[in-house]
Amino acid sequence: MNQNLYQSNLNFLLSNQRIACRDEKFLEIFREPDPSWRNRLPSVLQNGFEKNGIRFHSARDPQREAQKQLDHALGTDKRHIIFLGTGLGYILAEALKNPNIESLLVFETDPEILYYCLNITSIFKTSKDIYFYLTPEPELDPLENILPFFQNKNLDKICVYNHRPSFQEPGSKFPLLEKQLGAIMHKRAINQATIIKFQGVWNKNIALNIKSILHGKTLNMLVEKLRGKFRNIVICGAGPSLELSYPEIRKFRNRFFLICADTAFIPLMKNKITPDLVISADPQWLNHFFALSPEAAECDWLMDPVVCYQSTHYLDRLNASIYWWDNPFHLDQIIRDFKSRGEIAHGGSVSTNAFDLARKLEPESIIMVGQDLSFSQKTAHVRGAVLESMVFFKNNRFHGFEMHNLKQMKSLPPRKVARCIDSKDILFTNDKMKVFIEWFENQLVMINNSSRINFYNATCRGVLLGGFIHRPLGEILENCQPENFPEKPENSKSQVESGTNSVSQIKKKLEKLQTDCSQAENLYRNNMNLTRKIQSFSANGNSSRDIYVQLDRNDAQIKKLVEINQIISINAQHAILKITELGDESANTGFLLYKSMYLSARKLNYYFKKILATLGKSSSG
């Protein structure tokens, strides 16, 4: 009986991709379970389960115990539940019966316990969204694969249930898993704030960068050109202590390939240090000042399609060599349909992009400088960075430089740094920088055993990053030989002009999208007006069936415009998140959504017209 239940559960989970783990080999454990588990199963079913002196369920009535625990954990307003352990699954069975619960995510660190759970609980019968995540080594798992579970969910409606016996077991890995889950939910909240902040510029920048992207080069070309060519790669951030590293960077400059964040570009150039490659990924308007140097063409530039278009237009005028990577936004799909440019990991900052690129280039050593990841020197960035220069420009007697730094340090709650590079330091960071700290440390945990690269952190002050060898830059490089730097070729002709892509095909795609965008703009404007009429009728106690019929007819047409809707929705994320994830259930929700989508479509229509006019001029010229 139980073998049939187990197989039905397993087939359901695997066929619907409801079970995931970091190592695919663990799936084989469930396809062919350990014989000792099968032998122990009858005893577990009859007497319950005990391990290391910890009993996982009530010996008398585990169902009743599970029901009480679930009622206590859920309260009245929770709609989604994350289980950190379920033991033999009695509480999971109660959750599957609860009509208020819409989706479930189950974490388990012990394959044996999950095996017993699948022999007891009828999971395959459920119509709810349920996912299992097996992570026997949480310290090696950043849990990035669970992020889709949070999409379209209000974090306030999610309940996290800790199965107490699973936490009490000696050597339990659940406390670490709980900490990681809390961090990733916090990261999700930060991501929502980022989406709302940048929703208006992502599509705009991609659209206005299309011409430059077509005439630029690709990340794949850059990696192919540089892979294996350098023994040492230095990644230069714009942390406050970067100025302490200038003398050693200048002294040993010919012994490494230098990649810098765009924030650090101007300070380096002012101190007579020319990077080999500058990376830019931030869409904000202020960031275009990072490239405003007459010497910018002396470096290669690697960019995300969402970067501020003023940067790329300036670099194009200087005939600088620009490389581009793929962006996941739908608007960038226009170009990716013809040829992939290559992908790069995103850890939240340009320095994390640089770290992933450095790994792709396969050097012997990767050395980081200027990665304070804290407010060392009581500032956020190195002196001379454009961000600081703009503050001086806006200085007045009510808002000085000290006030700016105080605002930056207090914008998020300050967190004391537990381990500093200089043990005498007492430094503070914040939750945003902690995301970067954890990203770097997780990368080292995941790759150090399999990588032949030496990872150094030569930053003078700041956070002591786990996994990195902390050593002064001069000490690392003093016995190294000079690198052989390849001569920089002249900026090559566009890929489009050489026949790899076709401008005419891309223009045709853009024209089709612009037509769809105009249609969507009209439909959303019509629906916006219709919902306003509905509100007016409701206020007067009247209703009109014709309005609802027209609204449904328009919605049916909107649903057909799948591709353009995906692009338009990026600019309406504030309204969408308020409805889907922040729980806004006010009466004018429909009106606000249609208005946001209408305004987004109108803006996008303008960008399409502008880029089509630009591509028309370039092709005719």
Which pLDDT tens digit goes with each residue over 559-572? 999 888 888 887 77
Residues 288-306 have a mean pLDDT of: 90
> Which range, of 182-196, 562-576, 597-611, averages the lowest pLDDT?
182-196
Question: What is d(CA 295, CA 554) in angstroms, rounded to the nearest whole number?
Answer: 54
Question: What is d(CA 149, CA 351) in angstroms, rounded to the nearest whole number?
Answer: 28
Are 302 and 222 a contacting pair, CB within 8 Å?
Answer: yes
| 177-181 own/partner pairs: CB under 8 Å, 24+ apart | 177/84, 177/107, 177/109, 177/135, 177/138, 178/84, 180/138, 180/141, 180/142, 180/143, 181/82, 181/84, 181/107, 181/143
* Mean pLDDT of all residues belonging to the chain: 83
pLDDT, residue 496, reads 40
Question: What is d(CA 513, CA 518) in angstroms, rounded to the nearest whole number?
Answer: 9
Calculate what percentage of the chain has a pLDDT beyond 90: 29
pLDDT, residue 258, reads 97
Are 554 and 540 a contacting pair, CB within 8 Å?
Answer: no
Asked if residue 413 has pLDDT above 70, the reply is: no
Question: What is d(CA 615, CA 215) in angstroms, rounded to the nearest whole number?
Answer: 11
What letter would DSSP give residue 486? P
pLDDT, residue 192, reads 62
Asked if residue 500 has pLDDT above 70, the reply is: no
Instruction: pLDDT band for 618, please (50, 70, 90 cuts).
Output: low
pLDDT, residue 393, reads 56
Cα 432 to its chain centre, rounded Å, is 13
- Farthest-apart Cα atoms in the chain, separation: 85
Are 20 and 131 a contacting pair, CB within 8 Å?
Answer: yes
DSSP letters of 81-103?
A: EEEE--TTSHHHHHHHH-TT--E
Instruction: pLDDT band for 399, please (50, 70, 90 cuts).
Output: low
Asked if residue 580 has pLDDT above 70, the reply is: no
Residues 230-255 have a mean pLDDT of: 94
- pLDDT tens digits for range 331-369: 888 777 777 899 888 777 899 999 999 999 999 999 999
pLDDT, residue 358, reads 95
Asked if residue 410 has pLDDT above 60, the reply is: no
Asked if residue 273 has pLDDT above 90, the reply is: yes
Name the strand (E) or helix (H) holding 234. Answer: strand 232-236
Crossing angle of the two packed helices 589-620 and 202-214, in degrees rounded to 10: 20
Asked if residue 78 has pLDDT above 90, the reply is: no
pLDDT, residue 498, reads 39
pLDDT, residue 142, reads 73
- Read off the tokens for 563: 């591709």
Higher per-residue confidence, 225 vs 45 = 225
Q: Give just the sign of the alpha carbon dihedral 391, 394, 395, 399.
A: negative
Spans of all domains in the chain: 2-197, 206-477, 503-620
Residues 535-549 have a mean pLDDT of: 71
User: Which of 301, 225, 231, 220 is CA-nearest to residue 484?
Assistant: 231
Asked if residue 581 has pLDDT above 70, the reply is: no
- pLDDT tens digits for range 95-138: 999 988 989 999 998 888 888 888 888 888 888 889 888 888 88
Tell if the pTM clears 0.85, that is, is over it: no
Instruction: pLDDT band for 475, please (50, 70, 90 cuts).
Output: very high
Cα distance from N-terminal residue to C-terminal residue, the chain: 76
Crossing angle of the two packed helices 111-118 and 35-47, in degrees rounded to 10: 60
Question: What is d(CA 53, CA 60) in angstroms, rounded to the nearest whole number?
Answer: 17
SS3 262: helix
Question: What is d(CA 310, CA 297) in angstroms, rounded to the nearest whole number?
Answer: 15
Asked if residue 415 has pLDDT above 70, the reply is: yes
pLDDT, residue 256, reads 96
Cα 401 to its chain centre, rounded Å, is 32
